Amino acid sequence: MKLILIGLLFLATNALAQTNNRPDTVRKSVQLHEVIIRDKKSGNSLANKGADVQSSTDQVLKGIPAVELIYRGNYAPEPMIYGLSAGEINVTLDGMKMFGACTDRMDPISSYVEPNNLKSISVNEGPGPDAEGSTVGGGINFKLNQPGLNASKEISGLIGAGYQTDANTTQTLGSLQYSTKRFAILVNGLYRSAQDYAAGGGEKILYSQYSKWNGGLSAKYQVNSHSYLNLNYLQDEGYNIGFPALTMDVRSAKAKIGAVDYLFTDSTKRLYYWDTKVYGNFIHHIMDNSKRPLSTIDSMPMVMTGTSKTIGAYSEAFIKLGNSNIFRTKAEVYQNTLYADMTMYPMDAPEMFMLTLPDGQRSVAGIDLSDNISLSNKWSASFGGRAEYDRSDITTSLGKAQLSTIYTGAPDRTDLLYNLFANTSYKVTDKWTLNLAIARGMRSSTLKELYGVYLFNRTDNYDYGGNPALRNEQSENGTISATYRSEKFSIEAKAFSYLFQNYIAGEVLQGGMPINPGAYGVKQCVNIPSANMDGCELKGNVVISKTLGFLSVNTFTYGEDGNGNALPLIAPFRSVNTLQYSFQKYYLYLESITEAAQKHASSFYGETSSPPFSILNFKAARRFDMGKNQLECSIEVADVLDTYYYEHLDVFNVPRPGRDFIGHVTYFF
């Protein structure tokens, strides 16, 4: 299958220097999807579907069929790839490793970036060269926007404002680029705030408010004709973020992200792309229950802070071994340190303090090798692998003492991991293409799974204890697809099957006493010998006329562990059907989203079945040309019929926002 390119927006008409684009290793892979947020060449911003530069990151992610989102409120939904999340997938920022600091999964990496920072988002299903690390489920890589050298305008940018009625959401954003022949700089900023939203029917969802700002700075300097020095800095700070699905809210969530890379690129050379990057990121996260009534928190005010520090470096090279044979290698090292603590303030007793992530640290060295080869004009293949060495430990005596409260053995461990993958694509006729992808995946347990101490999981209401003796989760992944494509009609049918060994899950610890208010008990992370997940996806695209198109995406996933329990957080059958109209400066779309009931849910994982729902979304946009500048206006109505609904993945069955009128005005100069 080809890349799914959803051209969302152009920042300016200048073309980004082609040489700066990282080549995609498996362009022909069935498993790689990319959403372009800024297509600087097409200049067509109205071919967008549902999202634009003013959208939130999760709205853009929703446009990718393989991606689902776990909601805990109106902020920071957690992305999944076909039912796999957290440690089962990699979420990276321009190849940078980054790990959320919140012990309750309230700050996925995607919450620290905005489309305003991004050039594109790429998603690789399953292990593969673009999965950005050892994994069983794949990877999501957010690619940061880079300033363009030698742009047609020395100064260009955008300024925009948006308003949403349902939660009284306001946002303001801007972006400014200064470009000369050898030097360019791009700064961008965004502020967004929202009050409590109302679900379909009007019920106010308390503790769903938030505010955030985000700022980015990117600079590019051309060192010589084929070399560039790039600097990226990103800062994102959220405040007063309510999480209605949880028992606590976020007081602040702050991330600082920086990277410098040196890029060599020369399409005439065998080694035509070589990028070497040094990076670091720091997350500080504070949550508390200060806004909740005492009666709902067992009269136990508490504060949890967490930090995540990652430093790393990588060097990635693409080498032409022949006209149709490209070899890629990437060597990387990084180190991540996680710390989290919890302080409880009982009404009539001294405060209580403990570490919940006791200074866990992981150091990783990994190497990726892959090759992409066209065997004939009908047959192409890519294959490769990754080897990784992990060392995990607790770095402080205080941390070791804390872990000893739940685990008596030594905490340190080393792991050798490998991933292997092969994709092949065969063009049966001009219109028919067959794809096959197989992989052997392996992931190391996350530091939270190894060293977490009483981490509360709202999905099953248990406190989780880590287990430093966990075995690595492994998978055998297979995906097969057939695509038919003609001028008027295209259809793609895909089926996948993942078989897991040592699937990591929580098992009730007999006699364990929970700490978090409301928790039923204590679970410990254990390996379940096997689990499997199977799914299929059917996509159809009908070109009704030059201006009118119909797109249908249907996905179904089924997962079960070796004990017969339904795997958690698996979306039921889902069908998204979109009618799009695009003519010159006008763009309209009407979308329906339907989800079946999910009855395959297991109490072992704390899940209950969820009902079906169906909603309608509508959007209209128009572009105004004003000399060399443009104004783009859009009106969107989400949940047109004000349906009350929640998805199976929504934690604690908190309903989604109801009917929401969304207006965006963006001026490009």
The single residue among 318, 454, 498, 604 that binds another protein, judged by CB under 8 A, is: 454
Contact call for residue 514 and another protein (CB under 8 A) = yes
Cβ 513 to another protein, closest distance in Å?
Answer: 5
- The pattern of x and - marking residues 341 through 370 that bind another protein according to CB under 8 A reads -x-x-x-xxxxxxxx---------------
**Which residues make Cβ contacts (< 8 Å) with residue 278, sequence separation at least 6?**
259, 260, 261, 312, 313
Cβ 344 to another protein, closest distance in Å?
Answer: 7
> Which is nearer to another protein, 404 or 608 (by Cβ)?
404
Helices (H), 303-405: 397-403
The single residue among 174, 385, 512, 540 that binds another protein, judged by CB under 8 A, is: 512
In terms of Cα–Cα distance, which of 150, 173, 175, 149 is closest to 160? Answer: 173
> Which is nearer to another protein, 237 or 298 (by Cβ)?
298
Question: Which listed range, 67-75, 401-409, 564-572, 579-587, lies at the site for another protein (CB under 8 A)?
Answer: 401-409
- The pattern of x and - marking residues 530 through 549 that bind another protein according to CB under 8 A reads --------------------
DSSP letter string, 102-119: -TTS---GGGG--GGGEE
Question: Which listed range, 243-251, 436-444, 512-520, 579-587, lies at the site for another protein (CB under 8 A)?
Answer: 512-520
Contact call for residue 405 and another protein (CB under 8 A) = yes
Q: What are phi and psi of 550, to 5 degrees?
A: -130, 130
| Number of continuous H segments (helices) and E segments (strands) in the chain | 3, 31
> Which is nearer to another protein, 263 or 304 (by Cβ)?
304
CA distance 404 to 453: 10
Q: What are phi and psi of 435, to 5 degrees?
A: -130, 145
Question: Which listed range, 116-124, 141-149, 338-346, 496-504, lies at the site for another protein (CB under 8 A)?
Answer: 338-346
Q: Do the beta carbons of residue 7 and residue 41 sit within 8 Å?
A: no
> Which is nearer to another protein, 131 or 515 (by Cβ)?
515
Contact call for residue 513 and another protein (CB under 8 A) = yes
Q: Do the beta carbons of residue 228 and residue 263 sit within 8 Å?
A: yes
> Which is nearer to another protein, 511 or 627 (by Cβ)?
511
* 330-362 b/e (C-beta count within 10 Å ≥ 16 → b): bebbbbbbbbbbbebeeeeeeeeeebbbbbbbb
Distances from the Cα of 105 to the Cαs of 99, 101, 137, in angstroms?
10, 8, 18
* 519-552 b/e (C-beta count within 10 Å ≥ 16 → b): beebbbbbbbeebbbbbbbbbbbeeeeeeebebb
Question: Residues for the chain: how many in total?
Answer: 669
Cβ 291 to another protein, closest distance in Å?
Answer: 22
**The pair of three-digit structure tokens given for residue 417, joined into one six-digit string:** 């991991």
Distances from the Cα of 659 to the Cαs of 222, 232, 663, in angstroms?
49, 38, 13
Q: Do the beta carbons of residue 113 and residue 142 sit within 8 Å?
A: yes
Contact call for residue 466 and another protein (CB under 8 A) = no
The single residue among 509, 531, 533, 649 that binds another protein, judged by CB under 8 A, is: 509
Cβ 462 to another protein, closest distance in Å?
Answer: 15
- The pattern of x and - marking residues 299 through 318 that bind another protein according to CB under 8 A reads -x------------------
The single residue among 168, 267, 290, 404 that binds another protein, judged by CB under 8 A, is: 404
CA distance 308 to 468: 19
Q: Do the beta carbons of residue 261 and residue 20 sit within 8 Å?
A: no
Report the chain's terminal Cα–Cα distance, integer Å.
36
Sites for another protein among residues 240-279 (CB under 8 A):
none
Q: Do the beta carbons of residue 154 and residue 64 sit within 8 Å?
A: no
Cβ 454 to another protein, closest distance in Å?
Answer: 7
> Which is nearer to another protein, 11 or 519 (by Cβ)?
519
Distances from the Cα of 251 to the Cαs of 57, 117, 411, in angstroms?
21, 24, 31
Cβ 404 to another protein, closest distance in Å?
Answer: 4
Side chain identity at 273, as an amino acid letter? Y
Cβ 336 to another protein, closest distance in Å?
Answer: 23
Contact call for residue 511 and another protein (CB under 8 A) = yes
Cβ 610 to another protein, closest distance in Å?
Answer: 32
Cβ 350 to another protein, closest distance in Å?
Answer: 5
The single residue among 223, 294, 398, 626 that binds another protein, judged by CB under 8 A, is: 398
Cβ 508 to another protein, closest distance in Å?
Answer: 13
CA distance 648 to 394: 36
Cβ 655 to another protein, closest distance in Å?
Answer: 32
- The pattern of x and - marking residues 203 through 242 that bind another protein according to CB under 8 A reads ----------------------------------------
Cβ 605 to another protein, closest distance in Å?
Answer: 23
| Number of chain positions touching another protein (CB under 8 A) | 29
> Which is nearer to another protein, 334 or 454 (by Cβ)?
454
CA distance 70 to 78: 5
The single residue among 54, 56, 382, 402 that binds another protein, judged by CB under 8 A, is: 402
Cβ 456 to another protein, closest distance in Å?
Answer: 14
Q: Note the residues at the interface with another protein (CB under 8 A).
A: 300, 342, 344, 346, 348-355, 398, 400-406, 408, 453-454, 509, 511-515
